[in-house]
Amino acid sequence: MALKIYLLASEITPFAQQYQLADFVNHVSRELKEREHDIRLIMPKYGFISSRKYVLREVIRLRDIEAHWRNEVFTGNVRSAFVPDTKVQVYFLELPEYFDEVNHLLYKAQNGRPLKNNVDRFGLFSKIALRTLEKLFWQPDVIIANDWASAFAVVLHKKLFSYEEFFTPSKSILMLHSLDELLRFSPEVLQRGEIEPDDIELVISGKTRLLDIASALADEVIIVNSEEENVEKEIEQDKDLSEILANRTRQPHVISGDGDADTAWEQVAVNMEDILNNLLKETD
C-alpha cells in the first residue's frame, strides 16, 4: 500500500549535518520514494543554507503560517525544494529570528555549549511544521519525528492536534537515533506549546526528558542502531526510558541505520515500510 509519510528532521544531507540522522533521512527517503510512497520532508531553513544553490522556491499558500508559542503568535514561511538527485520533496521552514544565525553545529554555539533557546527554536519548528499540513491540504498517514529536536511534534500531535478533525487520521512515530538531549526541559515548556503538564499520563520531574514523554505517547517507536551508536544498548542502560518503553502496549521496533550500499538502505526502507503498514492495519 502506498503511504503518505511526513517526516520532520533537524538535519538532512546535503543541506545540514551534524550526526547520522542527516544521512539516514536522505537515503531512506529516496528509497521510500522509489517504492512509490508519497514522502515529504520538512526541516528548518538555517541561514547558511543557500536558496539559490538548492533552488528553494516560494509557495504562496505556505506563507505566514501561524502558531501559538509562549502566549504569542509566531508566523513562519515555508519554501519547497527537492533533495538533490531525487524526487523527494523537502520543505524549509523560515523562522529568521530563530534559525538565521545558527552555525553549522546546529544545536550548539561555537564554544560547544548547547544553545539556550533550543527548546523554543525546535518546539516552534515542530508546531509550525504540523500547521503546514493544513496549508498543504494534505493528510499524511504517518507523521515521523526524529530525536529530541522534533519529538515535540509527537507530544503536540497526541495532546493538542489529534483533537482537531484534520489531524485525527494520522499516526505519530518517534524514531530514536540518539539519546542526546540538547535542550533544557521543564513542565513549563509544555505550556509554551499550549499543553498542560497534567494532561500527560506520566510523572514529570526535573529529570524528565522530552524523549521520555514522546516515547510514552507515540503510536510507534522505532530505535535506529548504527555503527556510531548502539541506541538499543543505551536504552537498556537508561532506567527511566527503558521502563517507559517496556510499559508501552506496542513494543519498539529496532532497525539498523547502517549502509554504504544502495541495497543496505533499500532493506532499511523495506523494514520501515513493513512497520508502518502493520501499524496502520492494526490500528485501523
Q: What is the mean pLDDT of the chain?
A: 94
- 7 forms beta bridges with 41, 144
pTM for the full predicted model? 0.96
- Percent share of the chain, pLDDT over 90: 83
Domain tally, the chain: 1
Instruction: Give the model's pLDDT for residue 90.
Output: 98
Q: Do residues 204 and 187 make contact, with C-beta atoms less than 8 angstroms apart? A: yes
Q: State CA 241 to chain mean position distance.
A: 19
Q: Inform me whether the pLDDT recorded for 62 exceeds 70.
A: yes
- Give 164-203 pLDDT, tens digit per residue: 999 999 999 999 999 988 776 777 889 999 998 888 988 8
- Give Cα separations from 185 to 148, 204, 242 (angstroms): 11, 10, 19
Q: Do residues 123 and 190 make contact, with C-beta atoms less than 8 angstroms apart? A: no
DSSP assigned state of 223: E
Supply the CATH number for residue 35's domain. 3.40.50.2000
- Give 236-253 pLDDT, tens digit per residue: 999 999 999 999 999 999
Q: Inform me whether the pLDDT recorded for 206 exceeds 80.
A: no
pLDDT band, very low/low/confident/very high, at 259 (cuts 50, 70, 90):
low
* Residue 249 grid cell: 502496549
Instruction: Give the model's pLDDT for residue 89.
Output: 98
Section 126-135 average pLDDT: 98
- Percent share of the chain, pLDDT over 70: 99
> Domain of 245?
4-282
Instruction: Give the model's pLDDT for residue 189.
Output: 86
Residue linked to cell 519547497: 80
